[in-house]
Amino acid sequence: MNVSWSPLRFAGSIPQGVTAELVSLLDGGLPVLLYSGQFDIICHHLGTQRMLHELNWKHRDSWRGAVSDVWTLAGAPVAYVKTFKNLQSLVFLNSGHMVRPALETSSYLLASPIHFYLLRETIALGADGPS
């Protein structure tokens, strides 16, 4: 897989989407985790969910049919999670754009990207995860 990626592309001063790169990564089998805070007004979760619903990748129809679940920590709901193959989407409850501070109040620290990998593995294993 040969993908050239940058966090944000600009054409002049107008930001451009990166869905083509996302499709390439997903179709290449790279695990992808996208997350939003429930109350994020900058990157609203409804827009993220709509983009994922419309994303033209090889498992699009199966992704659309995948069922969302509630992920819990210590018995309390923390996020809605949807997973199919190598794509996972999380909507963290009671969180804005800065998900980490909201989770710290739930006694769960997300300090680095490795925590997201571990989170993905925890959800995949079902350990104190989706109910």
* Rounded alpha-carbon distances, angstroms, from residue 83 to 43, 71, 104, 126: 20, 12, 24, 12
Other beta carbons less than 10 A from residue 125's beta carbon: 9
Residue 99 has φ and ψ, to the nearest 5°, of -60, -40
Give 109: exposed, middle or buried? Use CB within 10 Å, 0-12, 13-18, 19+: exposed
pLDDT above 70: percentage of residues in the chain: 63
Q: Is the pLDDT at 53 greater than 60, yes or no?
A: yes
Identify the three-state secondary structure at position 72. strand
Q: Is the pLDDT at 115 greater than 70, yes or no?
A: no
Q: What CATH number was assigned to the domain covering residues 31-125?
A: 3.40.50.12670
Rounded to the nearest integer, the mean pLDDT of the chain is: 75
Q: What is the DSSP string of 83-113?
A: EETTEEEEEETT--S-HHHHHHTTT----SH
CA 73, 76, 82 angle in degrees (round to 5)? Answer: 70
Decide: 51 and 112 in contact? Cβ < 8 Å: no
pLDDT in tens, 84-106: 998 989 888 888 877 765 555 44
Distance of alpha carbon 91 from the chain centroid: 7
pLDDT in tens, 5-45: 455 555 555 556 788 889 999 999 988 888 888 988 888 88
* pLDDT of 75: 79
User: pLDDT band for position 65 (50/70/90)?
Assistant: very high
Decide: 66 and 85 in contact? Cβ < 8 Å: no
Joined tokens for residue 39: 């109350």
